[in-house]
Amino acid sequence: MKSRKRITFALLAAVVVGVAALAGTVSAATKTSATLVIWTDSYRVAAFQQIGAQYAAKHPGVTIVVKQKDFGVSDPGSIGGDLKTTTAANAPDIISATSDWIGALSADGLIVPLHLSTAQKAHFPKYTLDGCSYAAGKVKNLYCVPTQVENIGLVVNTKLAKVPTTWAGLEKAALAFKKAHHTAVGIAVPDGQPDGDPYHMYPFFSGLGGYIFGKTASGNLNKCAIGVANPTFLSHASTIDKWNKEGLVSSTVGYDNAKNLFLTGKLPYWITGPWESSNLTDPKINAAAGHFKIVRVPMIYKSAVPFLGIQGASITKYAGTHGVSAIAADFVGNYLTSTNAQLKLANAEGRAPASTAAAKLVHDPVLAMFAKASKGGVPLPNIPEMGSVWKSLGDAWVNSTKGSGATKARAAFSTAAQQIKTAIGCK
């Protein structure tokens, strides 16, 4: 892309020295000449183009350019990957991001704090703002405006089984179905090799008392308070050995296997998220179309809560370099918090909008069921150290649920916890 000349409008020159005016507005009558560049994924390009056109129409002289990138934080060609290597001339001012990226991106100085007003924050549930916030030291800042939320749930084919209300009921029914129909597992959940799937397994993990990071006295995530093998979880770890022996779950089953087992009517229970909505409702694909319910996994020993993914928009450091900090602040703080923008972005990807007002206007029954299944969920940890967790935790699930020759869960998860501590640099 060719170098772009950015000209900051004179009337707000004093404001754009920093990003402290995020709660302010840019007057539609103010004459400006500036270009705002947004990087997003293929799902949201059209939505951002529409929102950008509406914004530009009210702000003469402002041009908004939307560029498509893969949605990721590290790979070349992805939003986060290219943000780390781009030149200032080719850099974006705003990016689509997910809340668990913000720790790494802010630690690298690639995104800047947002200063939303109390009125702007009032659009969102507290957990979405918490997920978009990160503390470097004692100071916690907001780094993304929430736009969409997502989580997994237990999908039940009601033609094949009743919706479970207890864990004991789910386990008994799943194993009875497995025995009667000679299926590989009782619950279709991705736990497949080689690296496992600790995201989809999280309700089982939390239901046994597991967690990733504890918190400091001030409520921030504590990177060295590793909960992967905490005493409560270890006291329940033998339950995983039981699941492995009876074949309730298995690391021989990957994402596509689990999906196929449910959609073809071979299993009545599937752990998945709203990204499968179109498959769930298509009678040509799904044997349960029109006959399914989505609920939270029933309580095991503790509440079996899912991870909560929070999609959002962040302002990059390059907005200041380009002299468009105030415009970016206004667009993100005032325009992307609006009900109109929230609905457009949520509908573009088939997710629930983050704002409370927009969520009330969504009448999609599948999204409504997933939203209900999110109750009590845990925002994905957004500190950079989370990158040291995924593989070790996934390996623990793979090794303890691979059938014959499996490692005892207590040993597998204790090993994972030690690996994580060593990788992070904690004793």
Q: How far apart are CA 320 and CA 354, in angstroms?
A: 27
Predicted local confidence at residue 32, as pLDDT: 57
Q: How far apart are CA 407 and CA 415, in angstroms?
A: 11
Q: What is the mean pLDDT of residues 279-293?
A: 96
Comparison of pLDDT for 86 and 427, the residue scoring more: 86
Predicted local confidence at residue 4, as pLDDT: 31
125: left (phi over 0), alpha (psi -120 to 50) or beta: beta
Is residue 356 exposed (0-12), middle (13-18) or buried (19+ Cβ within 10 Å)? middle
Predicted local confidence at residue 137, as pLDDT: 74
Query: In this predicted model, what pLDDT tens digit does every residue of 229-266 receive, in sequence order?
Result: 999 999 999 999 999 999 999 999 999 999 999 999 99
Q: Which domains does the chain possess?
A: 10-143+309-372 (3.40.190.10), 153-306+381-424 (3.40.190.10)
Q: What is the mean pLDDT of residues 375-391?
A: 95
Residue 5: pLDDT above 80? Answer: no
**Nearest residue to 397 (alpha-carbon basis) of 244, 257, 235:** 244
Q: What is the mean pLDDT of residues 69-90?
A: 96
* Predicted confidence band of residue 193 (pLDDT cuts 50, 70, 90): confident
3-state secondary structure of 336: coil
Which DSSP string corresponds to 204-273? HHHHTT--SEEE-TTS-EEEEEE-TT-HHHHHHTHHHHHHHHHTSS-TT--HHHHHHHHHTTS-SEEEE-
Distances (CA, A) of 269 to 262, 378, 395: 7, 22, 24
Predicted local confidence at residue 24, as pLDDT: 44
Given the DSSP bridges, would you call strands 378-379 and 221-226 parallel, antiparallel or unpaired? unpaired
Percent of the chain with pLDDT over 90: 88
The strand pairing partners of 140, in sequence order, are 135
Residue 8: pLDDT above 60? Answer: no
3-state secondary structure of 286: coil
Q: How far apart are CA 266 and CA 274, in angstroms?
A: 21
Query: In this predicted model, what pLDDT tens digit does every residue of 220-238 receive, in sequence order?
Result: 999 999 999 999 999 999 9
Predicted local confidence at residue 232, as pLDDT: 98
User: How confident is the prediction for the chain on average, in pLDDT?
Assistant: 92
Query: In this predicted model, what pLDDT tens digit does every residue of 144-172 receive, in sequence order?
Result: 999 999 999 999 999 999 999 999 999 99
Which DSSP string corresponds to 172-191? HHHHHHHHHHT-S-SSB---
Predicted local confidence at residue 1, as pLDDT: 36
Q: Say what angle helices 238-246 and 409-424 make with each other, to 10 degrees.
A: 120
Query: In this predicted model, what pLDDT tens digit does every residue of 350-376 receive, in sequence order?
Result: 999 999 999 999 999 999 999 999 999
Predicted local confidence at residue 138, as pLDDT: 76
Predicted local confidence at residue 16, as pLDDT: 34
3-state secondary structure of 36: strand
Predicted local confidence at residue 259, as pLDDT: 97
Task: Provide the whole-model pTM.
Answer: 0.89
